[in-house]
Amino acid sequence: MAETSISNSPESLAQDACRWLVDQICAKQTDPQGTYSLALSGGSTPKRLYQLLAEIEEAAAVDWKRVLLIWGDERNVPADSPESNYRMVKENLLDKVAIPANSIFAMPEPGGDAADSAILYEQLLRERLGESTPFPSLDCVLLGMGDDVHTASLFPETSALGEQDRWVVANWVEKLDCWRMTLTAPFINSAKNVVFLVAGAGKRDALKTVWDGPFEPLKYPSQLIKPKGKLRFMVDETAVAGLTPPGLS
């Protein structure tokens, strides 16, 4: 059963999400060997969360040497492109907090051959996370949601939606006329926690489709996200106006 928490604005959503994430990381790190594995979302919604991870007092308790950062998806553009999810995280978090390079696993060689990048990324993740079969269980995957109900780079009617074995794939997105690289749905679903961060009235219909719509995951890919672990929707008031969110907390 999913849980939902509602914040009264995008800013308070970022604050609430940041505090939730810091609590999760610190709880794992009470084990001296505990390393928290976190897949970061791209897009604009999590940007403020990343900024706050570098700013709020509570985050000072995080031992970043024991946080493993990976990316849930990436645009197939160079790492210094304004479109790059890596660049967004770098500007808002990595340039502000001392995180060791071996804790940061961005998708390799973006902007080249997306299929090669996806294969290389999966190899890197297998080396770092271990050859867990069929999938490793990340501590947390952060996700956004598009108004077309896509998540990560799992877009409607695209080939990545059917992938059941790979951890990472390249995905041609016709509507954007571009290649993306993305974690696959079964990889995401193996996580202990999956958190959708969704804000704004423009996402209301997408949330309604996920919560109450017909199950048609090829049209509505966020419906594929049914983790073995906990599913949490962290939303703002405008995104859920008039809706009945699951598991309100």
Strands (E), 64-184: 67-71, 73-75, 104-105, 140-143, 168-173, 178-183
- Provide the minimum distance between the beta carbon of 41 and ligand 6PG in the complex, in angstroms, as a whole number: 5
Query: Residue 6: beta bridge partners?
Result: 235
The three-class DSSP label of residue 86 is: helix
Name which of 59 and 188 has its Cβ closer to ligand 6PG. 188
The Cα–Cα gap between 64 and 143 comes to: 21
- Provide the minimum distance between the beta carbon of 147 and ligand 6PG in the complex, in angstroms, as a whole number: 8
Contacting residues for 4 by C-beta, under 8 A, at least 6 apart: 232, 233, 234, 235, 240, 245, 246, 247, 248, 249
Name which of 4 and 76 has its Cβ closer to ligand 6PG. 76
Quote the tokens at residue 171: 């995905």
Name which of 144 and 227 has its Cβ closer to ligand 6PG. 144
- Residues between 56 and 115 with contacts to ligand 6PG, criterion CB under 6 A: 73, 85
Binding pattern for the stretch 136-175 against ligand 6PG, x by CB under 6 A and - elsewhere: --------xxx---xxxx----------------------
- Provide the minimum distance between the beta carbon of 145 and ligand 6PG in the complex, in angstroms, as a whole number: 6
Four-residue CA torsion sign, 202, 206, 207, 208: positive
Q: How many residues bind ligand 6PG (CB under 6 A)?
A: 14
- Provide the minimum distance between the beta carbon of 87 and ligand 6PG in the complex, in angstroms, as a whole number: 12
Q: Which residue is nearest to ligand 6PG (CB)?
A: 144
Based on the shown chain and the rule CB under 6 A, indicate whether residue 190 belongs to the binding site for ligand 6PG: no
